[in-house]
């Protein structure tokens, strides 16, 4: 039975990938991509990568899908996805070359060792000293904490880039367009009902991350989605990007992370090391500090460059 499900999943994934690539209509391609992401999350569940599945569903399919939908609707719904790809004579050689590279990669995957070398036993052996029970969290916030810190900073760089696309008169203003919706319509209704539930679920995913699959990135994505829902329904407006509270909240997470890192220098002898007995509280403190920053960054990245002044 499981084999059948896996086989079906693989076939569907390939079919959706082909659909997304070949679709003539941009909107259809985006929908295909979102479905592809959702199925990919299922595939990760099948591979026991629950954390990756959550991330794929939240960021890979959810936020990215929303971003693409936005872009597609701005470029007009019926825009031709494959219209501007240039020389059609070159399509066949391009397809053949892609197939050749994919084929070579496939052979390589088969050539990988039967029992792959892995650091999982190392992680398991050192898990106790990190005081958290989710090995993924141990990797992300203890063994390779630097990467996580840098990832949080990457998002801010991306936000600087997105904001820099604003026109000069609107610099410092509110991002995106003001959204209006029927006050008693289904969107406004959903935006009133869903966020309380979403916030609780997001907070839970964040909180449980220390011991079970979940964590700040997935939690922040859910919270950002709730915020965006409220904005899209026109129930609230995005803040102007010149607001000091907004800017401080954006950098507070990474700065707190760096501060805890240097604290480790004093208390545990190395940057980003944690003193014994305080590992879990410090890890949770870092995640707690990152949560609002990440929520804001993800939401603001989706909202895009400032398009209007400060007035609501």
Rule CB under 8 A: say whether 47 interacts with another protein. Answer: no
Token pair listed for 163:
């904001």
Nearer to another protein, 17 or 235 (CB): 17
H or E stretch including 265? Answer: helix 244-267
Q: Which of 71, 77, 100, 197 binds another protein (CB under 8 A)?
A: 100
Rule CB under 8 A: say whether 163 interacts with another protein. Answer: yes
Report the nearest approach of another protein to the CB of residue 103 (Å): 10
Q: What length is written for the chain? A: 312
The whole-angstrom separation of Cα 223 and Cα 196 is 10
Binding to another protein (CB under 8 A): which residues in 49-88? 85-87
Rule CB under 8 A: say whether 157 interacts with another protein. Answer: yes
The whole-angstrom separation of Cα 21 and Cα 63 is 20
Chain centroid to CA 115: 31
Nearer to another protein, 149 or 205 (CB): 149
Report the nearest approach of another protein to the CB of residue 255 (Å): 5
Token pair listed for 144:
């390779």
Binding to another protein (CB under 8 A): which residues in 215-254? 242, 244, 247-248, 250-251, 254
Residue from 287, 146, 127, 285 nearest 218 by CA: 287
Rule CB under 8 A: say whether 273 interacts with another protein. Answer: yes
H or E stretch including 306? Answer: strand 306-308
Nearer to another protein, 48 or 85 (CB): 85
The whole-angstrom separation of Cα 198 and Cα 114 is 42
Nearer to another protein, 4 or 117 (CB): 117
Nearer to another protein, 14 or 265 (CB): 265
Q: Which of 7, 97, 193, 197 binds another protein (CB under 8 A)?
A: 97
**Main-chain dihedrals φ then ψ at residue 236, nearest 5 degrees:** -145, 170
Rule CB under 8 A: say whether 277 interacts with another protein. Answer: no
**For helices 216-232 and 186-208, what crossing angle results, to 10°?**
170
Burial status of residue 54 (CB atoms within 10 A of its CB: 0-12, 13-18, 19 or more): buried
User: Which residues are near another protein by CB under 8 A?
Assistant: 85-87, 90, 93-94, 97-98, 100-101, 104-105, 107-109, 111-113, 116-119, 122-123, 126, 142-147, 150-151, 153-154, 156-158, 160-161, 163-168, 171-172, 242, 244, 247-248, 250-251, 254-255, 258, 264-265, 268-274
């Amino acid at each position: 039975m499981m084999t059948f499900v896996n086989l079906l999943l693989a076939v569907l994934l390939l079919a959706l990938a082909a659909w997304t690539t070949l679709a003539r209509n941009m909107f259809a391609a985006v929908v295909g991509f979102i479905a592809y992401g959702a199925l990919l999350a299922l595939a990760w569940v099948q591979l026991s990568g629950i954390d990756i599945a959550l991330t794929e569903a939240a960021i890979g399919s959810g936020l990215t899908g929303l971003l693409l939908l936005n872009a597609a609707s701005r470029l007009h719904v019926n825009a031709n996805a494959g219209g501007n790809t240039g020389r059609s004579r070159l399509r066949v050689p391009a397809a053949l070359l892609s197939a050749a590279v994919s084929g070579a990669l496939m052979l390589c995957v088969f050539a990988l060792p039967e029992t792959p070398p892995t650091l999982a036993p190392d992680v398991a052996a050192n898990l106790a000293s990190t005081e958290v029970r989710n090995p993924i969290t141990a990797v992300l916030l203890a063994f390779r904490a630097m990467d996580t810190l840098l990832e949080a900073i990457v998002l801010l760089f991306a936000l600087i880039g997105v904001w820099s696309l604003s026109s000069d008169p609107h610099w410092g203003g509110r991002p995106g367009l003001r959204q209006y919706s029927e006050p008693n319509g289904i969107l406004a209704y959903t935006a009133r009902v869903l966020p309380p539930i979403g916030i609780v679920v997001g907070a839970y995913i964040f909180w449980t991350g220390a011991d079970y699959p979940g964590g700040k990135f997935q939690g922040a994505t859910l919270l950002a989605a709730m915020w965006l829902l409220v904005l899209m329904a026109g129930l609230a407006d995005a803040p102007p990007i010149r607001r000091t509270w907004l800017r401080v909240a954006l950098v507070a997470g990474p700065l707190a992370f760096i501060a805890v890192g240097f604290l480790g220098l004093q208390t545990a002898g190395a940057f980003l090391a944690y003193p014994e007995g305080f590992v879990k509280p410090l890890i949770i403190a870092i995640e707690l500090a990152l949560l609002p920053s990440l929520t804001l960054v993800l939401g603001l990245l989706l909202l895009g460059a400032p398009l209007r002044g400060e007035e609501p």
